[in-house]
Chains A and B, each alone.
Chain A
């Protein structure tokens, strides 16, 4: 099993550009989530999904969209990038109510 994979590992955007961060898991987990982590800080939940076709907002959803068309994939879209979105983004998956498995992260810089 590859576990949770994220692409790209690094990305630089200009203000106003849009992009999609990819996340995939091969463990047949129902629950997937996106977090952002700013330097020296904890993780903040952006959006999450409890199954294909179901998504919901987390703590800091503004400026981000998600969709969950399959169990495996949970892409995160930045609609119009802003410098405040410079961060490290982690995707995680889990079985219902269980331990979350994290991907390696995407380091995003918005100029």
Chain B
């Protein structure tokens, strides 16, 4: 799998600034994408999703952008807070309801 042997990339952001977490997905036939947040010692939690017929979707303080041309997904978190510290995973769905997970990005909030 794509996550084998990789160490988590890390993004450090000043508290109050906006965070942008990027993800490259693998299959152009994927029709649904999800961002999850995983805090230390816990299971992943759903943040926001987007279908392939959309380019942008907004939630509370979060925005997901989808660029199908270059198979790229991004998660923007506005006004980053200490509680946003976590590992963020993108996942894509392309068949049989299986999700293929990215390796994750660790977000660190600097006070």
Contacts and interface: CB of A to CB of B under 8 A. Distances in A.
Interface of A: 4, 31, 33, 35, 40-45, 48, 50, 56, 58-60, 90, 92, 94, 96-97, 99-105
Given A42-B103, A42-B104, A105-B42, A58 B3 contact: no
Contacts of A31: 97
Given A45-B99, A48-B98, A100 B46 contact: yes
Interface in B18-60: 32, 34, 41-46, 49
A103 B103 contact: no
Interface in B61-111: 89, 93, 96-99, 101-104
B8 interface: yes
Q: What bracket does the count of chain B residues touching chain A fall in?
A: 20 to 34
Most chain B CB inside 10 Å of its own CB: which residue of A35, A48, A56, A99: A99
Given A31-B97, A40-B8, A41-B103, A105 B43 contact: yes
13 contacts: A42-B3, A42-B104, A43-B3, A43-B44, A44-B3, A45-B99, A48-B97, A92-B43, A101-B46, A102-B43, A104-B43, A105-B41, A105-B42
Given A97-B32, A97-B93, A99-B49, A45 B42 contact: no
Most chain A CB inside 10 Å of its own CB: which residue of B6, B96, B97: B97
A59 B49 contact: no
Interface of B: 1-4, 6-8, 32, 34, 41-46, 49, 89, 93, 96-99, 101-104
Nearest to A60: B1
B3 A41 contact: yes
Contacts of B99: 45, 100
Contacts of A103: 43
Contacts of B41: 105
Given A40-B8, A41-B6, 19 more contacts: A31-B97, A41-B3, A41-B4, A41-B8, A41-B103, A41-B104, A42-B1, A42-B101, A43-B101, A44-B1, A45-B99, A48-B96, A60-B1, A90-B43, A92-B43, A97-B97, A99-B34, A99-B46, A103-B43
